[in-house]
Homo-oligomer: A and B are copies of this chain.
Amino acid sequence: MPAAPKPRRKAPEPRPYHHGALRDAMIVAAVALVEEGGAESVTVREAARRAGVSSGAPFRHFASKAALMTAVAEEGMAKLRASIAGKLAACASEHPLVRLLAVGDGYFAWAIAHPTHYRVVGDRTQIDFWGSEALLRDNGWIRAEMLALFARAEKEKLLRPCDLRVIHLQCRSLAYGLARMLVDGHFREFDVSPKAAPAAMRGALRDYVLSLARDRAALGRVLDAA
């Protein structure tokens, strides 16, 4: 019966001339496209189609496709940070190296769950990483969290003799390398079945963290308990 009432106000029926939240809708659509077919399948036009606007409209909100992809990366980085924060919050132990492994768990969990989105976040050549406040903030948070854990571990004499700067770079590279190998399709090269990849990644990081400990056996016991 109410075929077409008065297009009075916020009636979300046909489509008000002005979308109202196109910027957000574009990001949602672009993220969906990324998840469906990877960054390469993202098209400004298709995202506009899904948002129900013409192909030129998005450029009122994004200077370029790269700007849209930067927003997609911001979205991803926030989720990545949230995933890490979640694992940290769920980590009962206060042992810095145990918590470091929790950071890795949160990092891998999101990368594994959203591989194509993770690729957008990781590739800083396609987005304006250094020009995005949100990316710098969330990435900086992750970085600071790691550095604080390393600093605490050192202060508490939990680390083997080492250069903090070196192991920070090492740790980041190992985590990035593991996640990146996964999303770049390298894991088929190892015997691990696709479903075993997460465990292999965690195992590699766990063993690495153990190698950082002054008292490997002690940390092993703590990790086994947790």
| Count of chain copies | 2
Out of B126, B177, B190, name the residue touching A174 (CB < 8 Å).
B177
State which size class the interface on A falls in.
35 or more
Residue of B nearest to A185 (CB): B124
- Given the contacts A139-B189, A211-B211, A173 and B125 also touching, CB distance less than 8 Å: no
- Given the contacts A122-B184, A124-B185, A207 and B173 also touching, CB distance less than 8 Å: no
Q: List 11 A-B contacts (CB under 8 A).
A: A123-B184, A124-B184, A125-B184, A165-B190, A170-B204, A172-B181, A173-B174, A173-B177, A173-B178, A177-B178, A211-B211
* Besides A130-B188, A170-B207, A177-B180, 20 new A-B residue pairs in contact (Cβ under 8 A), listed by A number: A38-B125, A125-B184, A129-B185, A166-B203, A169-B178, A169-B190, A169-B204, A170-B208, A172-B177, A172-B181, A172-B186, A173-B174, A174-B174, A174-B177, A175-B177, A176-B177, A176-B180, A176-B186, A177-B178, A180-B180
